[in-house]
A and B are shown apart, each in its own frame.
Chain A
Amino acid sequence: MLKPLIVSGLVLVLSIASPLARAQVAPPQSATAKVQTAATAGHAPLDHDGWGRPVTASTNGQKSAPAPRHDISGTWDPGDGGIQQLGARAMPEDGRPEHRLPYTPLGQEALNRAKPSNGLRSVLPAETNDPVVTCDPQGMPREDLYELRATQIIQTPEKVFLMYTFGKVWRVVWTDGRELPKDPEPRWYGYSVGKWVDDYTLVVQTTGLDERTWIDRAGRPHSSDLRIEERYHRVDQNHLELTVTIDDPQMYTKPWVALDKLQFELQPPSFDVREMICSPSEFAEYNKLIGNPASDKGHQ
């Protein structure tokens, strides 16, 4: 009877130890990169769409055709790089000096008030004041900087529609030549205008933003003076890059790059985007099952 015990023990040890061994010979990677990608380790590219149909990547290992002129329409998937649970991908809140943002004193105060549930300053689930846990809109620029997933872009002569997976929200970028409003009433998603600066690059400026939103999951703050620049560059038929720059002189002493050429891959026209909606009743059920008991300090 002892033999089966030993065999089962050995099998167990080997099965668990083998991934450890693989991890130890993996190439060096920065600590932040490990954290940003480990939550989705083993994540294959989207293999089924929201309709449950298998998806084949547009590129399929073949060289892409050249980019069409003045056209970013399509369904685009940024893969794991869009999730950004530690904050803006190009400047995650990980304690590294090069990722320290140039806060003004007011910006530092506002940051200190934010209690995120992820990253270096994370608090217990029940203690966070992240606006998204009450299903408030993410707003801009957080739509680009947290849970950015498959995004549908539709163009008309006057405007570009961007339709996001997270929250199933959409926004409009006006491309009819209008200027940004001078003294706008603040909105969750602000006011956006876009101009083609060359055949393949649409630059979008956004202002008039509601101060209640966070810039990213790490709780970076902004004021109503925030101005966002999004640079959509179509590299070729199947690839799009997004660069996002934050400019808010009340909170930051200089502009900073939050996304640096995040790459999206074009999905087939038949691709159906999944629903990913913040439902207050589902969130309440989650808190009842996990969030609140996990935060209960009475048992520590």
Chain B
Amino acid sequence: MKRKFLVFFTLMCVSVLSLPLSAHHGNAAYDTENKITLKGTVTQWFWANPHCVLQFDVTDDHGQVVHWGAETENPTTMTHSGWTKTSFKLGDEVTVTMITVKNGKPIGRIVDVVLPTGQKLAGRVIPQLPPYNPDDPPKQ
């Protein structure tokens, strides 16, 4: 039953997070329309410029381990959202919501991370610039 619950939970996450959001990523490598949520085990926390990177292992339904890398913004920016060099330690079980790259590699940009304590850290997803619309309010 636990397994059914996990499958149900994962499906809910993927389906709900696939709804169009107001914010879209601006990096050409990413598929900004789809977000996924995965549970994994932290293997490295790279707290550095130009972007911090959280690496974590995810075990799929077949027992295969996939090594994911998910980026945030730089430490200066992330500090303002409560992230620190010690936000993660090796072995932490985390739940990561992210957008992923178009080429199918296990690379993402973090939307948010839930820590083992239940605390949620918000990422910084750069929105995609929408096509120019003459009806938009003028200038910024």
Binding site for B on A (CB under 8 A): 1, 4-5, 8-9, 12-13, 16-17, 20, 23-24, 28-36, 38-44, 46-48, 83, 85-86, 89, 92, 94-99, 117-120, 122-125, 133, 149, 165, 274, 276-279, 282-283, 285-286, 289-290, 293-300
Instruction: Say whether, besides A31-B133, A36-B140, A42-B81, A299 and B76 are in contact (CB < 8 Å).
Output: no
Binding site for A on B (CB under 8 A): 1, 5, 8-9, 12-13, 16-17, 19, 21-23, 26-30, 46, 48-51, 53, 55, 69, 71, 73-77, 79-81, 101-105, 107, 122, 124-133, 136-140
Asked whether, in the complex, the Cβ of A290 is within 8 Å of the Cβ of B129, the reply is no
CA distance A81 to B26 in the complex (A): 17
Asked whether, in the complex, the Cβ of A125 is within 8 Å of the Cβ of B29, the reply is yes
Q: Which of B8, B122, B127 has the most CB of A within 10 A?
A: B127
CA distance A1 to B2 in the complex (A): 10
In the complex formed, the residue of A with least CB distance to B104 is A299
A38: chain B residues at CB < 8 Å are 22-23, 125-127
Give min CB distance, A36 to chain B, whole Å. 6
CA distance A278 to B139 in the complex (A): 32
Asked whether, in the complex, the Cβ of B48 is within 8 Å of the Cβ of A282, the reply is yes
Asked whether, in the complex, the Cβ of B49 is within 8 Å of the Cβ of A277, the reply is yes
Give min CB distance, A165 to chain B, whole Å. 7
In the complex formed, the residue of B with least CB distance to A41 is B23
Asked whether, in the complex, the Cβ of A279 is within 8 Å of the Cβ of B23, the reply is no
Residue from A92, A94, A286 within 8 A of B51 (CB atoms): A286
Residue from B73, B74, B104, B127 within 8 A of A35 (CB atoms): B127
Residue from A41, A95, A286 within 8 A of B46 (CB atoms): A286
Asked whether, in the complex, the Cβ of B29 is within 8 Å of the Cβ of A295, the reply is yes
CA distance A4 to B12 in the complex (A): 14
- Interchain Cβ contacts under 8 Å between A and B, 18 examples: A5-B8, A9-B12, A13-B16, A20-B19, A23-B22, A24-B22, A30-B140, A32-B140, A35-B130, A38-B22, A46-B80, A86-B129, A94-B132, A95-B131, A97-B132, A117-B27, A118-B27, A274-B79
Main DSSP-derived SS at the B contact region: loop
Residue from A16, A286, A289 within 8 A of B17 (CB atoms): A16
Asked whether, in the complex, the Cβ of A296 is within 8 Å of the Cβ of B103, the reply is yes
CA distance A28 to B136 in the complex (A): 9
Asked whether, in the complex, the Cβ of B9 is within 8 Å of the Cβ of A39, the reply is no
CA distance A23 to B124 in the complex (A): 16
Instruction: Say whether, besides A9-B12, A98-B139, A118-B26, A39 and B103 are in contact (CB < 8 Å).
Output: no
Instruction: Say whether, besides A122-B28, A277-B49, A290-B53, A30 and B137 are in contact (CB < 8 Å).
Output: yes
CA distance A293 to B13 in the complex (A): 26
